[in-house]
Amino acid sequence: MKTTDTHNDIKEVNLAYLMLAQSLLRADREAAIFKLGVSEEVADILESLTPGQILKMASADMLLMRFRFDDALLIDLLANHERERGVGHIHAAILAAGKPVESVS
């Protein structure tokens, strides 16, 4: 994969993430804060971004979002394809809720 392809892929993911974040926040702010794993402060910033600001941020050469999980148990619960999948996803949501949210430092 070429560097320009990678940059374009990152740009697309960033744009999709920022648009999704705004949409979620405008539809149901509290649920969006939980789903996105962000603080009230970050939610305020994301919600107030103009289309131009979103495009500018999306063109960054780094991913703007990151995985909320950093432990094997949470990854295993989300990736588990057994019959009890619903229970695993509920357990994963509980574990993710206990993780600190992203904030502006």
Taken in order of first residue, the domains within the chain and their CATH numbers are: 1-66 (1.10.4000.10), 67-100 (no CATH)
The Cα 76–Cα 85 span in angstroms is 11
Q: What pLDDT score does 72 carry?
A: 74
Which tens digit of pLDDT belongs to each residue from 1-59? 688 899 999 999 999 999 999 999 999 999 999 889 899 999 999 999 999 999 999 99
Which tens digit of pLDDT belongs to each residue from 54-79? 999 999 989 998 776 667 776 777 67
Bridge partners, 102 (sequence order): 38
Q: What pLDDT score does 69 carry?
A: 64
> Can you tell me whether residue 59 is helix, strand or coil?
coil
Instruction: Please name the residues in contact with 88: beta carbons below 8 A apart, sequence gap of 6 or more.
Output: 77, 78, 80, 82
Q: What pLDDT score does 1 carry?
A: 63
